[in-house]
Amino acid sequence: MRCPYCGSQDSQVKDSRPAEDGATIRRRRVCPDCGGRFTTFERVQLRELFVLKKSGRRVPFDRDKLARSVEVALRKRPVEPERVERLVSGIVRRLEQSGDQDIASEAIGEMVMDGLKQLDDVAFVRFASVYRDFRDARDFGDLIDELAASGRDGEAS
């Protein structure tokens, strides 16, 4: 792990323990060159995943990009960060356990929409408006009708 102070590649682990989320390992490190101390958070990755884009490109899966997309949809919504982390971790776990190394971007988008629908209706509509590339207000109306038909009353959970 590269030292953030001097750039040395040779840091030493002084302490290692699970982080609060249970899926991350917190490591305290020290650089033998400059003596700088820093913390890293590491996640276990079961396998290398790739996203197949609509354009045909194949790019490495980026958990942080998934988390940012969910957080943008949930911006200023009353949803606890732990629930957001559980949603993102659940999606990643399902992708890793799917048996496929290549995952279509559409499949990931549908998983996010399903999760947001359970978490917060407003965030679901926000994400869907970008994911489904809404063109006009009728698209929003159709989505609201879809929410109502699925038994939701339109209020955030």
pLDDT band at 154 (very low <50, low <70, confident <90, very high): very low
pLDDT, one tens digit per residue, over 55-66 is: 999 999 999 999
With cut-offs at 50, 70 and 90, classify the pLDDT of residue 109.
very high
Sheet holding 58-60, edge to edge: 58-60, 50-52, 102-104
Q: How many CB atoms lie within 10 A of CB 109?
A: 16
Q: pTM of this prediction?
A: 0.65
What 3-state class would DSSP assign to 117? helix
Tell whether the model's pLDDT for residue 2 goes beyond 70.
Answer: yes
Has residue 153 got a pLDDT over 50? no
Percentage of residues in the chain having pLDDT higher than 90: 49
pLDDT band at 84 (very low <50, low <70, confident <90, very high): very high
pLDDT of res. 46:
60
Distance CA 4, CA 157 (A): 41
Mean predicted confidence (pLDDT) in 72-77: 93
